[in-house]
Amino acid sequence: MRCDVVAVGTELLLGQIVDTNSSWIGEQLAASGIDSLLQVKVGDNLARIETILRRVLADADAVIMCGGLGPTHDDLTREAISAVMGAELVHDESVAETIRQLFAARGRTMAANNLRQAQVPVGAELIRQTRGTAPGLICPVVVDGVEKVVYAVPGVPHEMKDMLERAVLPDLRRRNGDPSVIVSRTLRTWGESESGLNERLDPVIDELEAAGTPTLAFLASGWEGIKVRLTAKAPSAAEAAALLEPVEARIRSILGDQVFGVDDDTMESVVLQLLRERGWRLGLAESVTGGLVAGRITNVPGSSEVFVGSVVSYASEVKFEVLGVDPGPVVNEQAARQMAEGARRVLHTDVAVSLTGVAGPAEQDGMPAGTLCVGIALPDRTVTRTLRLPGLRDQMRQMSVITALDLLRRELLAG
């Protein structure tokens, strides 16, 4: 069974809101063994919503529409669905009463336009609202003599997720009748281009394409690295996982330590875990990144067990006076070494990482924009590296974060 997704809202097209709902819905459909081949965004225009819905229904067995169920004049999903169904919108007093009770429970006065949410296409089944005022809908549709279904859920994420889990996914699984499960595993890599990874994995890709499952895809994710996603479909999650395991093992044998994590791992979470296993604490000395590394690390739950702090030594004077760097040029490996050793000393940590460089646009200390010097002070040694990173100022700084953390990761694995 194929179920596609239509996200409704002009704010999505304008970039005012990022459409994370469709991504989450796609993940849940895959976990339920439901194929989903298309996700579309459409603005708040009745004619365009109706046109898109008809177009998507031409190929899909089911459509999940997310958003456009609110009380205002530009919430038009109900009207578009009723037009496609060829059914009249009618007032449902039970829905209206639920809305009134919700407002009364919150001690708020209800605007009359909230009752627009009580308009329901004839023949549609309600998904009762438990978290917001708008109910969801399960709407039967006949397209060229074929019975299909349209689900309408609110765009507010927690309301949408509640209705998907409580009503939409169970209904889809019942209609599907196929107990198969789609399982994905994502290998997180850093250190090689997408084309380079593709070339190295060509033999694996050829074999997988001949077999049909699992499948392999590359997802370039900027300064998060390149993801290699494996997907398998099988009668159960355990059987799908069994299909993935030998393929993952072979990819790891080819890519080696370029694979730094799996699925939700990040470079910073992996590094923190390696340090935690050794009982070591981490400090930083940041110049070119201005605190970005510390920000990424402290975003990981439990980072306080490992991470002590960062000396943001953006001005040369801070490098000299706080970290003990010798006066002179500060974009070189000697400065990076002294910054790392100074941070380890000042912060009383087992390990410290330093970053100094030139983000641009102009050169500094005779070094071109894109230069990054990293120092890693470990209990038994200090290592330094100089790299040239691509991109404009922000991209270079963000790539510096993952690059420095990856160098630390490799040193920890090697040591």
Cβ proximity of 117 and 71 under 8 Å? yes
Single residue among 231, 262, 293 that ends a domain in this structure: 262
CATH number at residue 281: 3.90.950.20
**Are 203 and 307 in the same domain?**
no
Residue 191 is part of which domain span? 181-262
Select the more confidently predicted residue: 308 or 366: 308
**Are 204 and 319 in the same domain?**
no
> CA torsion, points 145, 149, 150, 152, in degrees to nearest 10?
150
pLDDT of residue 304: 96
**Are 205 and 283 in the same domain?**
no
Q: How many structural domains are present in the chain?
A: 3
Average pLDDT over residues 213-218: 88
Average pLDDT over residues 348-374: 94
**Are 50 and 112 in the same domain?**
yes
When pLDDT is cut at 50, 70 and 90, the band that residue 222 belongs to is confident
Cβ proximity of 380 and 373 under 8 Å? no
Task: Give this prediction's pTM.
Answer: 0.73
Residue type, 400: S
Single residue among 176, 199, 230 that ends a domain in this structure: 176
**Are 16 and 100 in the same domain?**
yes
- For the cut 90, the answer to whether the pLDDT of residue 110 exceeds it is no
Radius of gyration of the chain (CA): 27
- For the cut 80, the answer to whether the pLDDT of residue 166 exceeds it is yes
**Are 302 and 381 in the same domain?**
yes
**Are 251 and 307 in the same domain?**
no
**Are 349 and 363 in the same domain?**
yes
- For the cut 80, the answer to whether the pLDDT of residue 210 exceeds it is yes
Q: What percent of the chain has pLDDT over 90?
A: 76
- For the cut 90, the answer to whether the pLDDT of residue 156 exceeds it is yes
Nearest to 314 by CA among 284, 341, 344: 284
pLDDT of residue 112: 86
Query: Locate tokens 């590394």: which residue?
Result: 293
Instruction: Give the sign of the dihedral formed by CA 56, CA 59, CA 65, CA 66.
Output: negative
**Are 171 and 186 in the same domain?**
no
Cβ proximity of 352 and 283 under 8 Å? yes
Single residue among 176, 207, 235 that ends a domain in this structure: 176
Average pLDDT over residues 124-150: 93
CATH number at residue 207: 3.30.70.2860
Across the chain, mean pLDDT equals: 93
Cβ atoms within 10 Å of 326's Cβ, excluding its own: 11
Cβ proximity of 100 and 111 under 8 Å? no
Render 55-101 in DSSP notation, one character per residue.
HHHTT-SEEEEES--SSSTT--HHHHHHHHHT--EEE-HHHHHHHHH
**Are 81 and 160 in the same domain?**
yes
**Are 163 and 207 in the same domain?**
no
Six token digits for residue 223? 């300064």
CATH number at residue 57: 3.40.980.10
**Are 17 and 86 in the same domain?**
yes
